[in-house]
Amino acid sequence: MSRRGSLVKRLDRSGLGLLSPPLLLLLVVFLLPLLAMLPTSFQPYIPGKGIGQGFTIEHYVKALTDSYYLEIIGRTLALGTIVTLTCLVLGYPLAFFLARTQSRWRPWLMLLVVFPLLLNLVVRTFGWIALLANRGLVNDTLIALGLIETPIKLLFNFSGLLIALSHIFLPFMVLVLVGVIRNLPRDVEDAARTLGAGWAATFFRVTLPLSLPGILAGSILVFVLTVSALVTPRLLGGPTYKVMSTLIYDQFLQLLNWPAGAALSFILTAIAVGLISLSSGLARRMGAGA
Amino acid sequence: MSDLRLDGLIKRYGSVAAVDGISLSVAEGSFLSLVGPSGCGKTTVLRMVAGLIEPDGGRIFVGGDDITDIAVHKRNLGLVFQSYALFPHMTVAQNVAFGLHRRGVARGEIDARVKKALEMVRLDGLAERAPRQLSGGQQQRTALARALVVEPRLLLLDEPFSNLDALLRDEMRIEIKRLQQEVGITTLFVTHDQGEALGMADQVAVMNRGRLEQVASPRALYRAPASAFVAHFIGRANLLSGTVQGRDGENLVITLSSGAKARARGELGSGACRVVVRQENVRLVTTPTATANSFAATVVVASFAGATAQYLVRLADGTELHVQVPGARADLAPGTAIVAEWDAADATVVPDVA
C-alpha cells in the first residue's frame, strides 16, 4: 500500500501520471507495431514464398551497399534537403511579412497560406500533373511565348517532385516561422537600431539569429514530411523514379518482400530520428545562448 | 554631449493626438524627468527623440542639429529600455560591444572600452555571462553600459526601474544618477513614478493627455504647482474648490465651496479655482492660530506609519483632508474634534479646469 502510494506520488511529481494515457496510446498503436516489424526486417525473404525462417542482416547490408538502393536513399535525402531549403527561402520572407504586417487583411492572408492544406493531397498532386505535363499549362505557356521550342521534362523526375513537394509543405514552414517571428521581442531590434545597426545589420545580427530555433523546427518538420511523403512521389515520380517511401511501398505491396521493406523503413526512421536529435541538440546549444 | 530641444512635437494615432505639441528643452549635461500617468504620451515623446516613431509635426534638435529626419541608427543616442532589451544570444561583453562594432571601432579599442564600461557599471566579473544568467539589476547595468559605451549625444531612459523590486530600484536610482553626473550626459528620463521623477532630475516636465502641464525644478514643482493636475499628480495634495474673491496684500482671498473664507498664494485674478494644500502643511491643533486658515474638523481615520502618521479629517461641510504629521506626535483617535489649519504661505491657488 505504502509502496503504491509512493509510486503515485512520484508519478504526480514527474507529471508522468498526467501524460500516461496518451503515452500508453502512442505505445500501443504506434511503437508496438513498429517494434513488431523489427524481427521481420532480420528474416530472410524467399522469392515466391515470402518470409522464411532464420536470422539475416542481408536486407540492411543490401540497402546500404547496393548502388540501386544507395541512389534512392541519396535522392531521398537530397530531395528532403532541397525541398526544405526551398520552403525556407520562400517561406521566411512570407512568414516575416505575415508576422509583422499591421494590415487588417492579415487573418485572410494567413488563411490563404493554410488554404492549400484544405484541399485533398491527391487533388493537389493531380493539379501539378496537369500543370507540369509535357502538354501541361506550364510547357504550353512557355512554348506559346516562344521561350522554349520543345517541352521541358517536369514530370517523373527530380524537378517535378521538388516543385510539388515544396508547394505542399510550404504552409508548414510558414506557420512555424510566423509563430516564432511574432514572438521575437521588438525592443531588442529597436535596441540594435539605436545602437547604430541599419536595417540589414539588425536583421542579420539580431532578428535572424533569434529566429533560428523556428528555422530549425520548421526545417525538421518539412524535411521529415518530405522524406516520408508517399502519395506525391508516387504520382509525380511514376513507377520508375523512386524515393525511399515509394520503394518501401513497392517492397511491401508489389513484391511482398516484407523483410526488405521493413529494413528500409527502419533505415528511413533512423535517418529521421538521427536528424531530429542532432538538430534538437543544436537548438539546445543555441537556446543556451538565447 | 549636447542639449536637447523639442519644438512643437506632434504624434497622432488616427484622430487622437497622443502627443499634442510638446516644446521642451534640456540643457547640456542636465537631467530632465518626463513624468505623467500611463497613456499621457511620454513614452511616445521619448521614442520620437530616439527615432523609433516618426513625428507628425514639430522638430527635434540635438546640440543645435535638426535630427528629425535622421534615421534611428545614425542618431547616436543611448536608449535604455524598460525591458532592458539585451541581445539574448550574446554575452554581456558582446552586448556592450555591439554599438562599437557597428561604428567600426578597431577590435583592440573595443575590448578596452567594453572593459572600461563594464567596470563603470561594476560588472567586470560577468563579461562572459549570458543575459538570462543575470539578475534584474545586473541586466539593467548591462543595458546602461551598452548605451553609454558608444558615447552617445543623449541618454534616454524609458521607465528603467519598473521591472526592479523596491530595494534594487533605490540602489539603481542612485547608481544611474551617479553615472549621469560622472559622464555629464544630457538625459531624458521617462517615468510614471513621481517620486523617481523628483528624486533624480534637475528639471521635471509633467505631461497629461499629450500636453505639458508644467516644467520646473522639483522644488518649484512641488511648492508651486501650476495646475490642479500637477498638484495632485506630484505629492497627492489636498485640492479644495472655491472662487477667487480678491487680493489682500500678498495673498488671494478665496471663498471655499463651504462658504468659508481662506487665504492662499497665487496669481489668479478671479474665477473658479482650486486651493492646493500639501498634506504635511496641515496642522491639527486644539486652539486656532489667528493668522492661519483654521477650520473645525473631526478625525475620521488615523494611520501610524513610523516616521509619519496619516490622518483623514472631515471639515464641518463634509470636505475631507489628508494630513501628514510626524509619527512621534501622532496620538489622535478617530472621532476626536480638532482644528485643522494651514498658513496662507503654504497654500497655492490653481485654476479649476474640470
Half-sphere exposure of A250 (CA within 13 A, CB side): 13
Across the interface, of B78, B87, B99, the residue whose CB is closest to A188 is B87
Chain A contact set for B89 (CB, 8 A) = 209-210, 286, 289-290
Residue in chain B nearest A210 by alpha carbon: B89
Rg (CA), chain A: 24
The predicted pLDDT at position B330 comes to 74
- Cα B343 from Cα A163, distance rounded (Å): 86
| Chain B touched by A191 (CB under 8 Å) | yes
CB-based burial, A61-73: b 16+ in 10 Å, e otherwise: eebeeeeebeebb
Chain A contact set for B73 (CB, 8 A) = 193-198, 201-202
B40 in Cβ contact with B230 (< 8 Å): no
Across the interface, of A197, A286, A290, the residue whose CB is closest to B73 is A197
Across the interface, of B72, B82, B87, the residue whose CB is closest to A194 is B72
| Chain B touched by A192 (CB under 8 Å) | yes
Chain B contact set for A192 (CB, 8 A) = 87, 98
Half-sphere exposure of B308 (CA within 13 A, CB side): 8
Output the tens digit of pLDDT for each of chain B's 354 residues.
589 999 999 999 988 899 999 999 999 999 999 999 988 999 999 999 999 999 999 999 999 999 999 999 999 999 999 999 999 999 999 999 999 999 999 999 999 999 999 998 889 889 999 999 999 889 999 999 999 999 999 999 999 888 888 888 888 888 889 989 988 999 999 999 988 899 889 999 999 999 999 999 999 999 889 999 999 898 888 999 999 988 888 888 998 988 888 899 888 777 889 999 999 999 999 888 888 899 999 999 999 888 889 999 999 888 899 999 888 777 888 998 999 999 998 999 998 875
Task: Kindly report the three-state secondary structure assignment for every residue of B272-317.
Answer: EEEEEECHHHCEEECCCCCCCEEEEEEEEEEEECCCEEEEEEEECC
Q: Nearest-CA distance from B195 to chain A in Å? A: 26
Q: How far is CA A17 from CA A8, A9, B103, B312, in A?
A: 8, 9, 56, 56
Q: Which of B43, B70, B73, B79 is most worth mutating to test chain A (most A CB atoms within 10 A of its CB)?
A: B73
Q: Which residues of chain A have pLDDT under 50?
A: 1, 288-290
Q: Which of B98, B133, B154 is most worth mutating to test chain A (most A CB atoms within 10 A of its CB)?
A: B98
Answer whether A289 sits within 8 Å of B50, measured CB to CB.
no
B6 backbone dihedrals φ, ψ, rounded to 5°: -105, 135
Answer whether A198 sits within 8 Å of B73, measured CB to CB.
yes
Answer whether B79 sits within 8 Å of A286, measured CB to CB.
no
Answer whether A196 sits within 8 Å of B89, measured CB to CB.
no
Q: Which long-range contacts (CB under 8 A, 24 or more apart) does B181-186 make?
A: B182/B120, B183/B148, B183/B155, B184/B1, B184/B29, B185/B1, B185/B29, B185/B78, B185/B148, B185/B152, B185/B154, B185/B155, B186/B1, B186/B2, B186/B3, B186/B4, B186/B26, B186/B27, B186/B28, B186/B29, B186/B30, B186/B153, B186/B154, B186/B155
| Chain B touched by A290 (CB under 8 Å) | yes
The predicted pLDDT at position B209 comes to 92
Across the interface, of A187, A205, A290, the residue whose CB is closest to B83 is A187
Q: How far is CA B153 from CA A197, B109, B204, in A?
A: 17, 20, 20
Chain A contact set for B78 (CB, 8 A) = 194
- Give the CATH H-level superfamily of domain A63-289: MetI-like (1.10.3720.10)
Domain ranges for chain A: 63-289
The predicted pLDDT at position A10 comes to 64
Answer whether B78 sits within 8 Å of A194, measured CB to CB.
yes
Residue in chain A nearest B49 by alpha carbon: A194
Across the interface, of A187, A193, A206, the residue whose CB is closest to B72 is A193
Q: Is B174 exposed, middle or buried (0-12, 13-18, 19+ CB in 10 A)?
A: exposed
Across the interface, of B81, B89, B102, the residue whose CB is closest to A187 is B81
| Chain B touched by A188 (CB under 8 Å) | yes
Residue in chain A nearest B158 by alpha carbon: A187
The predicted pLDDT at position A289 comes to 44
pTM of the model: 0.82
Q: Nearest-CA distance from A208 to chain B in Å? A: 11
Answer whether A191 sits within 8 Å of B52, measured CB to CB.
no
The predicted pLDDT at position B41 comes to 92
The predicted pLDDT at position B299 comes to 93
Q: B8: which residues sit within 8 A by CB, 6+ positions away? A: B21, B22, B23, B57, B58, B59
Pairing of strands B4-13, A50-51: unpaired
Q: Which of B72, B76, B105 is most worth mutating to test chain A (most A CB atoms within 10 A of its CB)?
A: B72
Q: For residue B31, list its beta bridge partners.
A: B187
Q: Nearest-CA distance from B89 to chain A in Å? A: 4
B102 in Cβ contact with B144 (< 8 Å): no
Answer whether A188 sits within 8 Å of B86, measured CB to CB.
yes
Share of chain B above pLDDT 70, in %: 99
The predicted pLDDT at position B100 comes to 96
